Structure 1
Amino acid sequence: MTACSRADSGGSAATSSAPVQGTPATELRLGYFPNVTHAAALVGVDKGLFAKELGDTKLTTQTFNAGPEAVNALLGSSLDATFIGSGPAINAYAKSKGEAIRVISGATSGGAQFVVKPEINSAADLKGKVITTPQLGNTQDVALKKWLSDQKLTVGTGPDQVNVTNTENAQALDLFKKGDVAGAWVPEPWSSRLVLDAGAKVLLDEKTLWDGGKFPTTVLIVRTEFLRDHPQTVEALLKGLVASTDYATGNKADAKKVVNESLKKLTGKALGDPVLDRAFEGIELTVDPLAKTFPQLAKDAVTAGVSKEAADVKGIADFTLLNKVLSAAGKPSVDAAGLDKK
């Protein structure tokens, strides 16, 4: 496999655009996934770091398997903010014609791999095979289909095509063990579980496709209306996220324990230590959403056949409150790469 860079270069610093009026919300409905790539959310909820900053605002949480279903909840106004993959975040922005959501922070870089049966050694070996991703149009689904296109392979059920299906992560593990699928492009901890628990091997680590191995696996988005009406609440959420990220990176052993206990609570099964360690090695917790990659991600959705045209991502970013929180904590600001202006 030859690695290639997909990240755009350069970008301008974020400028102030968030509202300064509004009132604290009585409730914040927050979504996240039971994945290691959502470690900052899992730690923030379990350690009470979000609740502490939110004060009198009630925190209500809901978990999802993949981004598209979280987007539906957000666009249906049954959710106020959610940790989500970059692909569905862009799709939500485009679907609402740039009105419904804003990306307000990053959460995780890295932590997604294409793992396959041991006998598969090249792209050509995928012909006629069944490969699965978490959900149609989710971040990993787009990444797989874009990569297949780059390898001159088409998606379909023919003998020279690759049959791409969509399966919940836990079911994908079972299907792989049974031999019903030959591989999966999945986030952590599922790639590690497939490798260590089911005998898969890594055909491709998505890091190799990006400059410096950095790409936004998980970001934090909020309903634009909620951001406008309750900036204090959003700022409190971001304070909690920064605290959670600092805690997880400064207390890795305890963070792993917290994440594993949360996963057991949410999925009914804890991870073995080797799986947990491998999963954490593959991710970087960071509030930088790596905004400069978003234009390329929008183009990838077209190449993957998920979108008819590349979404215009100008205006998708609003890091005013995040950079305010970071500045107060003596931390460097994050770059909006010009995406804070329409």
Structure 2
Amino acid sequence: MTSSKPGMTRIVAGESAVPKRKRAIEAALAIGLVLLIAVGAVVASTVSRNTEAQAAAPSPTPAAELKLGYFGNLTHAPALVGLNQGFFEKNLGSTKLSTETFNAGPAAIEALNAGAIDAAYIGPNPAINSFVKSQGESVSVIAGAAAGGAQLVVRPGISSAADLKGKTLASPQLGGTQDVALRAWLGTQGYKTNVDGSGDVAINPTENAQALKLFQDGKLDGAWLPEPWASRLVLQAGAKVLVDEKDLWDGSGSGKPGEFPTTILIVNKKFAAAHPDTVKALLKGHTESVAWLNEAPAAEKTAVINTALQESAGAALPADVIDRSLKNIVFTVDPLAGTYPKLLKDGVEAGTTKQADINGLFDLRALNEVAGESISAAGLGQD
């Protein structure tokens, strides 16, 4: 249709095109606004939930109490000195410190897993065993404490491994570090041992003080023991050294010939996650104790250790026993992580643990921060 005026033409159908486009744009904007409001509501809800969750989750705080386990052995001298000299209490501040003594590692691990203690000085094999059984959920190794100080001592009539067939030997506890070391060494000598005490050589896990008495009474042929018990059998019961464990370590794992971990410091993982500041305070006390042991004059060291043993074990030691024992021990905060693949292998062959991946066993971050060092986890955890 054309206009009645000359020179002007319009299309009738086009009269409704502009309003339709306008309405379409307005509709799209309305839909977009609705979507934007909906997305905003979801985001706001998510942020609110996250904020509420963060508010509900407790922040890490110092623990009201730290329950520490250790043994009355000279290989646990960092614990003895830390308690006697007040290094732990000073660094823990308002956190109450309570302690419990054990004869061997497996019992300490049971207490730690049950929540009866939060941290412990212990041998490496029970720590490995706990980590393996819990699939990495139970404990973390947070520092070393002592290296060396374990020997197989026997009756004078036994002069070689060949003389051990049919004999009865002792270790502190089945699955403990010295128990595993004894079984592993006997295996290299061609002997078969079983965890029930049968085999070519009978191994009877026995409390240390009882092992001394049984040896004195002629009811035991020898024992693989930590210090001061090895020295006590030598100096007080006439035993002789058949194997010094340091001679079995060539340094291929730790890089330090003759050094192997005897005592380490571990912590319950849940406790560490909830109270990292308390763990750091414990490590400060621990590093001060190790430093004191490496720097104190011999006479002062003997006096302090003996006082601590009197308090924890109920009996002091003769000076010659302490002197011989300390000559066999190196106090160090390095847990010698590179030795742990061999320790695991020995435990597997001894039948006291299972083959497993132990990556994650170590958490040395707090130790390195406190000590100002770069101690390696050897690829088995964080450092």
1:185-213 CA-to-partner distances (Å, cap 9, x unmatched) read 00000000000000000000000111210
Give the number of equivalent residue pairs: 315
1:180 aligns with 2:226: no
Which of 204, 214, 219 is 2:264 aligned to?
219
Contact 1:90 1:311 (8 Å CA) reproduced: no
Secondary structure at the residue paired with 1:213?
coil
**2:170 paired residue number:** 132
**Greater C-alpha radius of gyration:** 2
Higher relative contact order, structure no. (Cα contacts within 8 Å, ≥ 6 residues apart): 1
Match of 2:18 in 1: none
- Counterpart CA distance in 2 for 1:120 and 1:245 is 37
1:112-146 deviation digits (Å, cap 9, x = unpaired): 00000001011110011110000010000000000
Does structure 1 conserve the Cα–Cα contact (< 8 Å) formed by 2:88 and 2:281?
A: yes
2:277 — aligned with what? 232
Between stretches 21-30 and 102-111, larger displacement belongs to 21-30
Would you say the 8 A contact 1:299–1:311 is kept in 2?
no
1:118 aligned to which of 146, 153, 156:
156
Provide the residue aligned with 1:333 in structure 2.
Answer: 374
Determine if contact 2:61/2:277 at 8 Å carries over to the other structure. Answer: yes
Following TM superposition, by how much is the alpha carbon of 1:154 offset from its aligned partner in structure 2, in angstroms?
A: 1.4
Matches of 1:94 and 1:74, distance apart in 2: 15
Matching of residues 87-166 of structure 1 within 5 Å: 87-155=125-193, 161-166=200-205
Q: Distance in 1 between matches of 2:110 and 2:80?
A: 21
Query: Normalized per residue, which structure has more helix?
Result: 2
Which residue matches 1:285?
331
Runs of 4+ in 1 over 6 A off after TM superposition: none
Output the CA distance in 2 between the equivalents of 1:42 and 1:87: 21
- 1:303-318 map, 5 Å: 303-307=349-353, 309-318=354-363
SS in 2 for 1:72: helix
SS at match of 1:303: helix
Query: Aligned equivalents of 1:334 and 1:285: distance in 2?
Result: 15
Residue matched to 1:208: 247
- Among candidates 76, 81, 84, match of residue 43 of structure 1: 81
Unaligned 5+ runs, structure 1: 1-20
Query: C-alpha displacement at 1:22, in angstroms?
Result: 1.1
Letter in 1 for 2:169: I
Query: In the TM superposition, what are the counterparts of 1:249-260 in structure 2 within 5 Å?
Result: 249-251=294-296, 252-260=298-306
| Structure 1 match to 2:292 | 247
| Contact 1:132–1:167 (Cα < 8 Å) also in 2 | yes
Distance 1:244 1:123, change over 3 A: same
Matched residue type, 2:334? D
Matched, 1:76 2:122: no
Q: CA deviation at 1:101?
A: 0.6
Give 1:219 shift.
0.3
Flag structure 2 segments of 5+ consecutive residues without an equivalent. Answer: 1-58, 252-256
RMSD: 1.2
Distance 2:160 2:192 in 1: 15
Displacement after TM superposition at 1:83 (Å): 0.3
How far does residue 333 in structure 1 lie from its aligned partner after superposition? 2.0
Corresponding residue for residue 94 of structure 2 = 56
Taking structure 1 as the reference length, the TM-score comes to 0.90
Distance 2:306 2:350 in 1: 33
